[in-house]
């Protein structure tokens, strides 16, 4: 966790806040947000997907929290495994690219389930397939990739069912590009962070494709990352 915090503190210290409307998640998010009365997004950094107004954001990175607060968001400095909210506080919860970064993913998902009211929506994205592991996963602080059945079972254990899913993420297909990026992040970090924040991230956002959702969760072979739309059971 300390390594993750150092990496993302450095990343967000030289980054600009991106409006949620700029991401290809916005059509889905705006649809679900319109039906929600209380919203939580965990660890967005400076790439929040939920509307800034009237959403509670939680992050470990103080540079990210400062920018989010300056933009009018409600923020709290906390970890996903110890959320400072009462049981059933939210009816819309998001955690994009988070579970793979925490040691105790079962405890983290348990906290998301605890603060979610029965019937709440959960948006969750995560990388797939342990055999697709690269040195870049190590570098950005991943602890795991999930087999589809493993993430489905983990969600079910905490009362969530997957309603629909889509291929997600901006990872380059070329392993050479990933190796080059890792080299510069290792040996020329300040310059690499500048290029990522000011050039590659804006380009990636410009060429995002609309998300294509399918009912349930049955990823095709070779899918690197998925976005899952889940629902907490009503007991």
- How far is CA 125 from its chain centroid? 6
Domain ranges of the chain: 2-171+209-232
For the segment 98-109, the average pLDDT, to the nearest whole number, is 96
Lookup result for tokens 């998902």: 109
Between these two residues, 130 and 205, which has the higher pLDDT value?
130
* E strand or H helix at 183: helix 175-187
Q: Which of the four CATH numbers 3.40.50.150, 1.10.760.10, 3.40.50.620, 3.30.365.10 does domain 2-171+209-232 have?
A: 3.40.50.150
| Residue 194: predicted pLDDT | 57
Token code pair at residue 79:
């970890």
Rounded CA-CA distance 215/103 in Å is 30
Rounded CA-CA distance 39/116 in Å is 9
Whether the pLDDT of residue 195 is over 60: the answer is: no
Q: What is the pLDDT of residues 38-97, one digit of tens each?
A: 999 999 988 999 999 999 999 998 989 999 999 999 999 999 999 999 999 999 999 999
Read off the pTM: 0.85
| Residue 209: predicted pLDDT | 86
Whether the pLDDT of residue 174 is over 60: the answer is: no
Percent of the chain with pLDDT over 90: 66
Whether the pLDDT of residue 219 is over 80: the answer is: yes
Q: Please report, for the chain, how many H helices and E strands are present, in that order.
A: 9, 8
Helices 62-70 and 2-13, axial angle in degrees (round to 10): 40
Cβ atoms 94, 51 nearer than 8 A: no
Q: What is the pLDDT of residues 14-28, one digit of tens each?
A: 678 889 999 999 999
Lookup result for tokens 């509307």: 51
Residues 6 or more apart whose Cβ sits within 8 Å of residue 234? 118, 119
């Amino acid at each position: 966790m300390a390594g993750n915090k150092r990496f993302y503190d450095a990343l967000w210290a030289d980054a600009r806040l991106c409006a949620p409307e700029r991401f290809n998640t916005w059509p889905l998010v705006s649809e679900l947000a319109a039906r929600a009365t209380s919203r939580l997004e965990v660890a967005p950094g400076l790439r929040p997907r939920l509307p800034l107004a009237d959403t509670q954001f939680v992050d470990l990175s103080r540079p990210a929290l400062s920018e989010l607060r300056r933009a009018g968001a409600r923020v709290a400095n906390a970890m996903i495994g110890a959320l400072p909210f009462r049981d059933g506080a939210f009816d819309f919860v998001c955690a994009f690219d988070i579970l793979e970064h925490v040691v105790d993913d079962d405890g983290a998902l348990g906290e998301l389930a605890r603060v979610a009211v029965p019937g709440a929506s959960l948006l969750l994205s995560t990388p797939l397939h342990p055999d697709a592991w690269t040195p870049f996963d190590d570098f950005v602080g991943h602890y795991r990739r999930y087999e589809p059945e493993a993430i489905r079972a983990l969600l079910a254990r905490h009362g969530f069912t997957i309603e629909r899913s889509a291929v997600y993420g901006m990872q380059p297909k070329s392993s050479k590009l990933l190796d080059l990026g890792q080299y510069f992040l290792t040996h020329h970090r300040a310059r690499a962070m500048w290029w990522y924040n000011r050039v590659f991230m804006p380009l990636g956002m410009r060429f995002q494709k609309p998300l294509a959702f399918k009912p349930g969760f049955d990823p095709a072979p070779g899918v690197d990352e998925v976005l899952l739309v889940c629902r907490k059971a009503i007991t």
